[in-house]
Amino acid sequence: MTELLLAARNVTKRFPGVLANDDVSVELRPGRILALLGENGAGKSTLVNVLFGMYRPDGGEIIIKDEVVDLRGPDDAISRGIGMVHQHFQLVPPMRVVENIVLGAEPTKLGLVDLDEARVRVVELSERYGLEVDPDALVEDLPVGMQQRVEILKALYRNADVLILDEPTGVLTPQEADHLLGVLRGLTESGVGIVFITHKLREVLAIADDIVVLRAGRVVGATTPTQATETGLAEMMVGRSVVLRVEKTVAQPGDVVLQVEDLKVDDDRGHLAVDGVNLQVRSGEILGVAGVEGNGQRELVEAITGLRHTSAGEITINGESLTNSSTRQVAQTGVGHIPEDREKHGIVAVYSLAENSVLNRYYRQPFSNRGIMRREVIHEHAEAVVDEFDVRTPNVTVSVSSLSGGNKQKLIVGREFSEDIELLVAAQPTRGIDIGAIEFIHRRIVEQRDNGAAVLLVSAELDEILSLADRIAVLYDGKLMGVLEASLANRESVGLLMAGITG
Ligand code: ADP
Ligand code: MG
């Protein structure tokens, strides 16, 4: 009997300037689910990449089925029964499902690939584990949740008895995520061991047998769902006490600030991404836009903030038309924007923190006078932002690229909030940042609402929408599926709309 399916013993892995894994030990036994929990950058992906043979560890050893192994690459791991579903899928889009699943392990008959035989095995596997897929569909035509099933089947087809999933639920609706958790549980019953990476505490408590928490490359705790609580896990991840609940009162909505009518917007490839959307956001309320990523949220935000042209429809702010205005015009109308891609649209990496603190208004009073920038005024402003928004930095002259993700985000929020804003457009405002910064930014967004701003919050994290929004709009395939009162909405009702199911 195999005792240890997979284990890391004192694994250390360095990248230039970063100790990504520092003396990490974890163990996976047959039929169990090991959850790896940790904030962004904690070292979770690095660890599983080491276990999968993608990276060579600088120290320590890997054990597969009770045996110390020296993996020369992923093929080595695969041949020893390790399967991995990466954060970014590795399928070939123009190929069929069955072809993708057997790729590199094709059954042959008289020297030819025997796709009929492959199809039989694929159907058999998918029925056994509740992973229904159409074997003849093209992968490129499948929604993300289906593509993920193909990835899992691909590993099972190769007889994996260890399955590693790196943040698998980030791209799923709540119902799809629940289904996946059920499938994984079913797999463990046939002895498969699973390593499940996530930053969602609820999922860890629902699915794991064993929980290991990583922080800054080190194991900081090992526990089980019966011993752990959400708050306890969060504190282990962060290393200090945190408040997970967002405190807020009932909204007091005023006049309509943002009005979007029959809006149509194309994506980068010229496909209709926003398809006739109508919505309103009033002063003093937070309208949350929920949806699986890639359903038009990005294009909607870019159209409103002047980053993208619209092909039809109308956008007004306080009655003034801003359709196809520049980002500068939009900002001057009192719109604050926390962009989804902070590196591309939020900051300029080669500028100092001080310069970044006035990025969209350096050219006007009080920061410039007759075309001449006033360094001291900008400097003082930056120091005030750093102070008030808790940006951790040695000083304001450092290059902004030296800040951590959470501190960059606090700087952007501080900059956008340091003027009166009528409308706040917050897109994925807490993606990839630490819980402490999340907590801080959530409080500040609610504060803006309470000061009378209209807030449009777009997030792929349903929990973030459910805890912050006063009303919830759901986008699916570029269309608005419905708008729910947050007090009457829950994971199920929003989740159905996220899957395009109405009525
Ligand atoms: P997690 O998956 O927990 O978010 P990662 O394992 O991806 O964390 O990253 C751990 C640390 O290692 C981070 O500081 C990250 O920037 C760094 N890192 C990860 N992969 C690489 C790489 N290929 N090259 C350089 N640094 C890396
Ligand atoms: Mg990762």
Is the Cβ–Cβ distance between 158 and 83 less than 8 Å? Answer: yes
Poorest-pLDDT segment among 101-105, 176-180, 204-208, 454-458: 101-105
By the 10 Å C-beta count (0-12 exposed, 13-18 middle, 19+ buried), 268 is classed as: exposed
Mean pLDDT value of segment 312-341 = 95
pLDDT in tens, 51-106: 999 999 999 999 999 999 999 999 999 999 999 998 788 899 999 999 999 887 77
- Which residue is associated with the tokens 């498969």? 192
**35: β partners:** 196, 211
- Whether residue 253 is predicted with pLDDT greater than 80 in this model: the reply is yes
Give the Cα separation of 91 and 145 in Å (integer). 13
CA 69 to ligand 1 centroid distance, Å: 23
Nearest-CA residue for ligand 1 atom 5 is 43
- CA nearest neighbour of 458 among 308, 341, 297: 297
Q: Which ligand is nearest to the CA of 86?
A: 2
What is the band of 239 on the pLDDT scale with cuts at 50, 70, 90?
confident
* Percentage of the chain exceeding pLDDT 90: 77
User: Which atom of ligand 1 is closest in space to residue 38's alpha carbon?
Assistant: 3
Whole-angstrom distance, CA of residue 501 vs CA of residue 280: 22
For ligand 1, mutation pick of 21, 39, 46 (most atoms within 8 Å of CB): 46
Higher pLDDT, 298 or 238: 298
d(CA 60, CA 334): 55
Identify the band that residue 111 occupies on the pLDDT scale cut at 50, 70 and 90: confident
Q: Tell me the per-residue pLDDT of 429-483, one tens digit each, with 9 for 90 and over.
A: 998 787 888 888 999 999 999 999 999 999 999 999 999 999 999 999 999 999 9
Instruction: Quote the CA–CA distance of 210 and 207 in Å, as a whole number.
Output: 9
- Name, in order, each residue with C-beta under 8 angstroms of 97's C-beta and a sequence gap of 6 or more: 122, 133, 134, 135, 136, 137, 138, 139, 142, 150
Interval 114-127: pLDDT, tens: 788 889 999 999 99
- pLDDT (0 to 100) of residue 199: 85
HSE, side-chain direction, 13 A CA sphere, residue 398: 15
> 63 versus 238: which is more confidently predicted?
63
Query: Which residues make up the environment of ion ligand 2, defined by Cβ < 5 Å?
Result: 45
- How long, in residues, is the chain? 503
Band of the pLDDT at 363, cuts 50, 70, 90? confident
Mean pLDDT of the chain: 93
Q: Is 38 in the pocket of ligand 1 (CB under 6 A)?
A: yes
The preferred substitution site among 14, 18, 50 for testing ligand 1, maximizing ligand atoms within 8 Å of CB, is 18
Find the DSSP H helices in 338-468. Answer: 353-356, 375-388, 405-417, 435-450, 462-468
* Residue nearest atom 21 in ligand 1 by C-alpha distance: 15
Question: Encoding tokens for residue 244?
Answer: 């997970």
Q: Is the dihedral of CA 31, 204, 485, 337 positive or negative?
A: negative
Backbone angles phi, psi at 264, to 5 degrees: -125, 130
What residue owns the CA closest to ligand 1's atom 26?
15
pLDDT of residue 200: 87
49 lines ligand 1 (CB under 6 A): no
Question: Does pLDDT of 178 surpass 90?
Answer: yes
Whole-number pLDDT of residue 473 = 98
Protein residue with least CA distance to atom 13, ligand 1: 41
pLDDT over 80 at 419, yes or no: yes
Q: State the pLDDT at residue 116.
A: 87
Q: Taking Cα atoms as reference points, which of 298, 338, 297, 304 lies closest to residue 321?
A: 304
Exposed/middle/buried for residue 235 (C-beta within 10 Å: 0-12, 13-18, 19+)? middle
**Over residues 136-157, mean pLDDT:** 92
> Is pLDDT of 50 > 90?
yes
Q: Is 225 helix (H, G, I), strand (E, B) or coil?
A: coil
The upper half-sphere exposure of residue 7, i.e. CA atoms within 13 Å in the direction of its Cβ, equals 17
**Nearest CA residue ID for atom 16, ligand 1:** 41
| pLDDT the model gives residue 398 | 94
At residue 114, the pLDDT reads 79
User: What tokens does 328 get?
Assistant: 């500068």
Does ligand 1 lie within 6 Å of residue 291's CB atom?
no
Distance 20 CA to ligand 1 centre (A): 6
Query: HSE-up of 180 (CA within 13 Å, CB side)?
Result: 27
